[in-house]
Copies of this chain bind each other. A is one copy, B any other.
Amino acid sequence: MATLIFPDHPSPVADAEALRKACQGWGTDEKAIISILGHRNETQRKLIRQAYEDLYHEDLVKTLESELSCHFEKAVYRWILDPQDRDAVLLNVAITKSPVEYCVIVEISCIRSPEELLAIKRAYHIRFKRSVEEDLAQHTTAPIRQFLVGLVSIYRYNGDEINERLASSEAQILQNFIKEKSFGDDEVVRIITTRSKNQVLATLNRFKVDHGSSITKHLRDDPSSDYLSAILRTAIRCISDHQKYYEKVIRQALNTVGTEEEPLTRVVVTSAEKYLKVIKEIFSKRNSVTLEHAVAKETSGDYKAFILALLGND
């Protein structure tokens, strides 16, 4: 399901030397950087960083930061980090933005597995010397705070067991509060943030059967929709079908006048080694054009070449 194309056993030392060469002297050889980093998997990138540190006593990430610029720099920086470290950085950037970029927080909390989320929180501790929860709580206020901190902090059960009776009663609770437009009600927060993802899915399915249409349709059709209903909708979409959700993020980023590189980068770097192929298929079906074609049309320069490499261009 990954799109990344990489060789079997590249030499980390040769890669580190080639990257050093690309960064030395006048100008930077971006093509060389893309040809290496755009075609190495997580383990291989880690070994290159280690080899670079051993050879030159410098952090490759810092070297690249000083050599590259703009969207290309950001994309390379996101890409070269370990997944949990990358998500910790994405969370920190989203939390310290004004206003808080809630969709990134919801995405990471709801799409990553409980164990992955835990690794991200550990990485956040190490990198920022604080917890993600305290930063998030400090930068938000009720009732959004309660929802977002709940999503980030709860260590959800990850088993397959489903309680159908519970799904039925909690679908009814959701319906009551959605009817009253109390999207941030304590009970809505409880159900969406604390239940296992499989249990939430069972509740959402029950809702659809009992009320004729999905919760997200109810929320979308509500003219009074606000931040809370948007958070709720994003959380539900991420839990229900995150690949479909990611396709929409990419589509909106590409359709914005001038293109929004940040969300495009985020989705591509976080899913290139996982399920970007599926997102590409959904995109092609939905838009009657390949994702590569759309990216090539809407982006440019080294950034375009790098994103296309992660999308599977050889």
Nearest Cβ on chain B to A185's Cβ, whole angstroms = 9
Cα–Cα distance between A130 and B158 once the two chains are bound (Å): 8
Q: Given A145-B186, A153-B154, A186-B142, does the pair A125, B159 have CB atoms closer than 8 Å?
A: yes
Query: Is A43 located at the chain interface by the 8 A CB criterion?
Result: no
Query: Is A194 located at the chain interface by the 8 A CB criterion?
Result: yes
Cα–Cα distance between A188 and B142 once the two chains are bound (Å): 12
Q: Are B194 and A134 in contact (CB under 8 A)?
A: yes
Query: Is A213 located at the chain interface by the 8 A CB criterion?
Result: no
Query: Is A196 located at the chain interface by the 8 A CB criterion?
Result: yes
Cα–Cα distance between A158 and B196 once the two chains are bound (Å): 27
Q: Are B145 and A131 in contact (CB under 8 A)?
A: no
Collect the chain B residues with CB atoms within 8 Å of residue A134's CB: 154, 156-157, 190, 194-196
Q: Are A125 and B157 in contact (CB under 8 A)?
A: yes
Collect the chain B residues with CB atoms within 8 Å of residue A146's CB: 146, 186
Copies of this chain: 2
Q: Are A131 and B156 in contact (CB under 8 A)?
A: yes
Cα–Cα distance between A139 and B278 once the two chains are bound (Å): 40
- Chain A, interface residues (CB within 8 Å), range: 20 to 34
Cα–Cα distance between A312 and B161 once the two chains are bound (Å): 44
Q: Which residue of B lies closest to A131 (CB)?
A: B157
Collect the chain B residues with CB atoms within 8 Å of residue A256's CB: none
Query: Is A133 located at the chain interface by the 8 A CB criterion?
Result: yes
Cα–Cα distance between A156 and B137 once the two chains are bound (Å): 12
Query: Is A149 located at the chain interface by the 8 A CB criterion?
Result: yes
Identify which of residues 59-95 in chain A touch chain B, using a CB-to-CB cut-off of 8 Å: none
Collect the chain B residues with CB atoms within 8 Å of residue A39's CB: none
Collect the chain B residues with CB atoms within 8 Å of residue A196's CB: 130-131, 134
Q: Which residue of B lies closest to A121 (CB)?
A: B155
Q: Are B194 and A141 in contact (CB under 8 A)?
A: no
Not counting A131-B157, A153-B153, a sample of 5 additional A-B residue pairs whose C-beta atoms are within 8 angstroms of each other reads A118-B118, A131-B156, A133-B156, A134-B195, A149-B194
Q: Which residues of A contact B (CB under 8 A)?
A: 118, 121-122, 125, 129-131, 133-134, 137-138, 141-142, 145-146, 149-150, 153-159, 161, 186, 190, 194-196
